[in-house]
Amino acid sequence: MAAEVERSRASYLHAARLKDAGLPFSRQASVAKVTATDAAMAVATDAVQVLGGNGYTREYPVERLFRDAKVTQIFEGTNQIQRMVIARDLLR
């Protein structure tokens, strides 16, 4: 789970550095969004599984994190839209 978080962090920092340098960054920003939100969902799923049935109860904070992780894949442009942005940029 820590590796997923580190990979996501490296991805968004790369996009931010490109933007700060005034270079094109839209593809890298889309890659960062897809990477981070997919990682959040995978990490949240693993956390729920570690707790077993308790992971689904509201008594554990991981239940809320699991629901929040799914929402991140949808808002600010769904991951499918971000994949289309990446594909268009690669085809240029």
Q: How far is CA 36 from CA 5, 10, 31, 51, 60, in A?
A: 7, 10, 8, 23, 23
Tell me what pLDDT residue 46 has.
Answer: 92
Cα first-last separation, the chain: 34
**Residue ranges in the chain modelled with pLDDT below 50:** none
Tell me what pLDDT residue 71 has.
Answer: 87
Q: What are the tens digits of pLDDT across the range 29-50?
A: 999 999 999 999 999 999 998 9
Tell me what pLDDT residue 84 has.
Answer: 93
Identify the active-site residue in 4, 6, 59, 76: 76
Q: Is 63 in the active site? A: no
Instruction: Kindly report the backbone phi and psi dihedral angles of residue 61, in degrees, each rounded to the nearest multiple of 5, phi listed first.
Output: -60, -20
As a whole number, the mean pLDDT across the chain is: 91
Tell me what pLDDT residue 38 has.
Answer: 93
CB 35 within 8 A of CB 4: no
Tell me what pLDDT residue 14 has.
Answer: 97
Tell me what pLDDT residue 52 has.
Answer: 84
